[in-house]
Amino acid sequence: RVLETGALDGAGDAARFFNPQGLAADNAGNVYVADTGNNTIRRITPSGQVSTVAGVPGLVGIRTGALPGSLAQPMALAMSGASTLAVINENAVLRLVLPK
């Protein structure tokens, strides 16, 4: 199933990504994934649950404001503090404050 792509949230190998690129981890053990092909940021919990935390699959563009917002091909991630995630795309750096 490694070659299957998509935008599904879920547990373990039921989740689907499309061209994931950047990774970052927080102090709670969550891993954040720049799901570039889906224009989203995904969170993988220590138990393996995958959820979309920012962006809308298939919707391209940058819209600020309340989450989920929209993203344009996020490529790299970095955590800054306990709940601030820097998202880097080809043109800019966005900072997301993630809900706890």
Instruction: Assess if residue 5 is contained within a domain.
Output: no
**78 in a domain, yes or no?**
yes
4 domain-assigned? no
CATH of the domain at 86: 2.40.10.500
What are the φ/ψ torsions at residue 71 (nearest 5 degrees)? -130, 155
Residue 1 lies in a domain: no
Mean pLDDT taken over the chain: 84
CA–CA distance, 50 with 59 (Å, rounded to integer): 19
Give the residue-averaged pLDDT of 42-66.
82
Count the alpha carbons within 13 Å of 43 in the hemisphere toward its beta carbon. Answer: 19
3-state secondary structure 39-56: CEEEEECCCCEEEEEECC
Mean pLDDT, rounded, for 90-97: 72
- Indicate whether 2 belongs to any domain: no
66 lies in a domain?
A: yes
State which residues form the domain around 22: 10-97
Compute the 3-state secondary structure of the chain and give helix, strand, coil in percent, each to the nearest 5.
Answer: 5, 45, 50
Per the structure, the count of domains in the chain is: 1
